[in-house]
Amino acid sequence: MSRLKNSPTGLQLFKESLSKLKEKFDGTQGEPYIVESNHFKALYFDSESTQSLMDMRAPIRLVVSYTETMMGFLLFQSDPKSIAMIGLGGGSLAKYCHHYLPRASILVLENNPKVIALKAKFHVPENSSHFKVLETDGAAYLRDTEEAFDVLLVDGYNKLGQATQLCSEDFYASCLACLKPGGLLLINFSGMADLNQVYQKRIDRGFAYPSVLVTEDDQMNQILFVSNDPSLSIPAEDLLRRSTALSKKHDIHLARTAQNFLAQRKLDSR
């Protein structure tokens, strides 16, 4: 999820439409709906928060900046074999990983059947042996599963914000238990920075290595990087070198993500 204010230029195309739709949709109790312009398609639960944004001329392209930051896991896991995601939205991350990481097995956990019903409108791939969208509560699934993943991406929101079951110490313990050695957990936080730091402290109590909370340039989202090994302590020169190499394959702002990550890690070390 990303807030409309100070968001990328594409979102501004929806302002006029949103003002007309606000009264109609804001009382829908989290019912998803779609807003389209000539070039963009967006998923909303209300007229303030964009759940997903797709460029209809390039459906796989990541449009909203926080999704590019979440793909920053590539800096530490460039070729993961197993990826799990909580929260489908319009499928931006799922589509990107399916296309650019064809050797990865991808599992998307989404508890809202009405969001899943819209996935074809956002060009989300059909389920297959290596790509699955399951209708289930992500927190409950991770608590009960014996599966393990190289990468776990948490981006679960509803009309009221981040789902409460995705913010508890029990949930974070489940995340830790589901990661393979060297595994990465990335969480999208959108909201009050002070509260996000509370969540970060909960996570750090369960993980042996410190996390890094990267603030987006627009100040509206924060992405938490967590690992169950010391990989987040990679020397700055090596991380920047990785971002340069990966940018030959991935047309996303990995260099920006690496720089923001290193700036925050430096602040945390003071």
115 and 17, same structural domain?
A: no
Query: Can you name the residues that pair with 9 across neighbouring β-strands?
Result: none
Residue 46: which domain range? 2-55
The answer to whether residues 163 and 223 belong to one domain is yes
| Annotated catalytic residue 204 | no
As for how many domains the chain has, the answer is 2
Provide the pairing of β-strand 179-189 with 222-227: antiparallel
Determine the length of the chain. 270
The helix or strand, by DSSP H or E, that contains position 261, with its residue range, turns out to be: helix 254-268
Contact 96, 71 (CB under 8 A): yes
Which amino acid is located at 26 in the chain? Answer: D
Residue 146 and residue 70 in one domain:
yes
Identity of the amino acid at 115: V
Among 137, 144, 150, 155, the active-site one is 155
What are the distances in angstroms from CA 205 to CA 86, 200, 234? 22, 9, 21
**At 22, is the pLDDT very low, low, confident or very high (cuts 50, 70, 90)?**
very low
d(CA 46, CA 158) in angstroms, rounded, equals 9
Same domain, 84 and 213: yes
Is residue 131 in a domain? yes
Mean pLDDT lowest for which of 1-5, 55-59, 62-66, 118-122? 1-5
Residue carrying the six token digits 């990107």: 96
Query: Is 60 within the bounds of a domain?
Result: no
- Average pLDDT of 164-173? 92
Pair 39, 73 in one domain: no
**The pLDDT value given to residue 24:** 54
pLDDT in tens, 227-253: 999 999 999 999 999 999 999 999 999
Query: Which of 55, 76, 95 finishes a domain?
Result: 55
What CATH number is associated with residue 91?
3.40.50.150
**Same structural domain, 92 and 161:** yes
**Average pLDDT estimate for 15-40:** 64
Domain identity same for 170 and 228: yes
Contact indicator for 66, 216 with CB cutoff of 8 Å: yes
Lowest-pLDDT range of 112-116, 156-160, 214-218: 156-160
122 token code pair = 């956002």
The mean per-residue pLDDT over the stretch 197-204 comes to 93
Name the DSSP class of 59: T
